[in-house]
Amino acid sequence: MEAMLNQNVLVLNRLWQAVNICSVKRALTLLFQGHAEVVCADNGAFDTYDFNEWRDFSERNPRDADSVHTIRFRIRVPKVVMLLFFDRLPRKEVKFTRHNIFERDSNTCQYCGVLFERRDLNIDHVIPRDRGGATTWENVVCSCIPCNTRKGNRTPSEAGMRLVRKPKRPKWRPFVQISFTRTGDDSWKHFLDLAYWNVELGHEGPDEPG
């Protein structure tokens, strides 16, 4: 029973957008409190059920579905629930890490525009640190070793160099990061676009030229 209650349930906002995953226990609590409805496919169409409707549906359609049993009734384990009072996409900021800087810049030197293996790239401060340059998204770029050596402890203009793109903080992105093959249920397929959720940070479109 405990293992069943800890299974994953896909959570949609009221615009039918995937926003999170939660446990079966949490999903049933939201359902009972009237904060969510179950989304279930029937004959190719998706229907929604409040708590009482889902309980009745569970009694009418026992099949082989996983169910939670109480003293008075049994209720099927939901696979997808929809929040009734939430229409936003929760977001979190992309972490400021070396890996994500490479992703943002697509493993490309931001001075000569050439694509490199990561082992041949450095992280360069556009305004050098000892000139007051901060270690931030807006002042750090990928640089190949030759360009890094050429620039030295100077600004790009002082070195006669030009940035391919102006460095920016990456766009905010939805926090749902789900690998369907590991955690998903077949009923999730309609709501998850893996190409969208797993797009690399550096592939969100061109930045303004520097």
Are 77 and 66 within 8 A, CB to CB? yes
**pLDDT over threshold 60, residue 39:** yes
Interval 67-101: pLDDT, tens: 777 767 788 889 899 999 876 655 566 778 888 89
pTM (predicted TM-score):
0.51
Average pLDDT, the chain: 80
Sheet holding 45-49, edge to edge: 18-23, 8-12, 80-83, 36-42, 45-49
Average pLDDT over residues 108-135: 94
* Residue 19 contacts residue 11 (beta carbons within 8 Å): yes
Phi, psi at residue 36, to the nearest 5°? -150, 160
pLDDT over 90 percentage in the chain: 44
- Would you put residue 43 in left (φ > 0), alpha (ψ -120 to 50) or beta? left
Strand ranges inside 16-57, DSSP E: 18-23, 36-42, 45-49
- The Cα–Cα gap between 105 and 79 comes to 38
The mean pLDDT of 22-33, rounded to a whole number, is: 91
**For range 109-126, the mean pLDDT:** 95
Closest listed residue to residue 166, CA positions, set 207, 126, 196: 207
Residue ranges and CATH numbers for the domains of the chain are 2-90+177-197 (no CATH), 95-151 (1.10.30.50)
**Calpha distance 166→146 (Å, rounded):** 20
- Quick one: pLDDT at residue 195? 37
Place of tokens 């030197």: 109
Q: Cβ distance 172 to 90 under 8 Å?
A: no
CA-CA-CA-CA dihedral for 149, 151, 152, 156, to nearest 10: -160
